[in-house]
Structure 1
Amino acid sequence: MHKTVKSFIVISIITLIAACSTKVERHNFPDLTYTHLQRVDLDVAAIEVLQAYQPPLQHPNIEHETPISMLGTTATWAKDVFKSVGHSGTAKIIISEASIIEEPLSNNASITSTFTTEQSEKYISQLTVEIRIEDAFGGSASSNATVSRSITVPEDISLTDRERVWFDLIEDTVNDMNLKIRDGISKYLKDYLR
């Protein structure tokens, strides 16, 4: 009997250790690229992409938890889309905001809420990009754009599905930026387009 108790304790400890060491499986998502988009040829000798945004790494910001980085993805977009085709001058593409905020939603406390799946969190992305051009003759021009999106998720969402929501939110936000910044470029940077 004493031996049975010892065996039970040993098995319990092994089970507990195994449970503690089990890792949450995370889904691998591809890095996004933008070489398929129409290029923007700038009449400058060099282009710098500056990732000026500093993620706070704490809630309500959750961009450090997403399967891909919105800041890094925006930098990839800038490098894939903008090309220098001139002999002088510089263009700086500055990413000053690339945040995703998690906002908890109030749940309905009524009896009917027991039988329904409610939305529990809202995710809000915000992306701000500025393009500054300085030419060799002292001339300069700039254009900036800010885009934002939001989406809610249900209370019973799995980690994999939540990560898919974040991935899609980042992809959609960067695609919105691509469209909006091109509009500004055609208005404010047209003298520097080739």
Structure 2
Amino acid sequence: MIARRPFYAACLALLFLAACDTPPDRQTFPQITFQHLSPIGLDVARIEIESAYRAADHPDDNAAEYPAPPETLAANWARDRLKAAGTRGQATYTVIEARAVRVPLPRSSGIDAALKTEQSDRYDLSITVKLEAGNPISGKSGAVTETVTRSQTVPENMTLNQREVVLFNMLDAAMKDLNARLEASIPQYLGPLVR
């Protein structure tokens, strides 16, 4: 009887292991970058990149669920696209907001809930950046602020991997929109400083 105890313990351990679910493998997504585009030269000696937004200061911020932090991508845009092309002056690019929020949606109860698939959550993304530049020698200066937003609901039966695809697509679309807006507004509002 004593000799069988290790055997039973091993069987029990195997049953516990078999009952455990392994988490799904996290997918890899392409890097969202703008390094392939021509740099935007500014008549300044240096470019400072700052962030006035901290996801940790907002308890409802869900940036950690995204494949890449929105705040980091918003700052990386300036690293990828802006270039100091002068000898005096400074440009400051500030991430004002990179807010990502998941809002639970109300759902039916009772028989109605069992008969249909409902939208369980809404993901909201808002990115605001500001670029200020000035050259004391030429006396030229200017500023531009741009905001992009995205919002998407998801059904209750979505897998974790499917949600990550939705969040990646939202982030990718928002950053492409931000790039297009800044490409248009920088020459408009900072034209004398563009080289």
Secondary structure at 2:48's aligned position in 1? Answer: strand
Q: Which residue of 1 is the match for residue 7 of structure 2?
A: 7
TM-score when scaled to structure 2?
0.86
State the 1:154 CA deviation: 0.8
1:153 partner letter? V
Relative to structure 1, the CA distance from residue 3 to residue 152 in structure 2 (aligned partners, 3 Å threshold; closer, same or farther) is: farther
State the 1:37 CA deviation: 3.1
Relative to structure 1, the CA distance from residue 57 to residue 142 in structure 2 (aligned partners, 3 Å threshold; closer, same or farther) is: closer
Aligned partners of 1:126 and 1:107: how far apart in 2?
25
Q: Is the 8 A contact 2:49 2:94 kept in 1?
A: yes
Q: Which residue of 1 is the match for residue 136 of structure 2?
A: 136
63-72 or 117-126: which moved more?
Answer: 63-72
Over residues 117-143 of structure 1, what are the superposed CA-to-partner deviations in whole Å (9 max), with x where a residue is unaligned?
A: 111110000101000112123653211
Q: Which residue of 1 is the match for residue 185 of structure 2?
A: 184
TM-score when scaled to structure 1?
0.86
Secondary structure at 2:35's aligned position in 1? Answer: coil
Gaps of 5+ in 1: none
Structure 1 segments (4+ residues) deviating >6 Å: none
Aligned partners of 2:186 and 2:141: how far apart in 1?
13
1:163 and 2:164 correspond: yes
Q: Is the 8 A contact 1:59 1:102 kept in 2?
A: no
Q: Is the 8 A contact 2:141 2:190 kept in 1?
A: no
Q: Is the 8 A contact 1:29 1:68 kept in 2?
A: no
Q: Which residue of 1 is the match for residue 81 of structure 2?
A: 81
Q: Is the 8 A contact 1:133 1:140 kept in 2?
A: yes
1:108 partner letter? S
2:156 partner letter? E
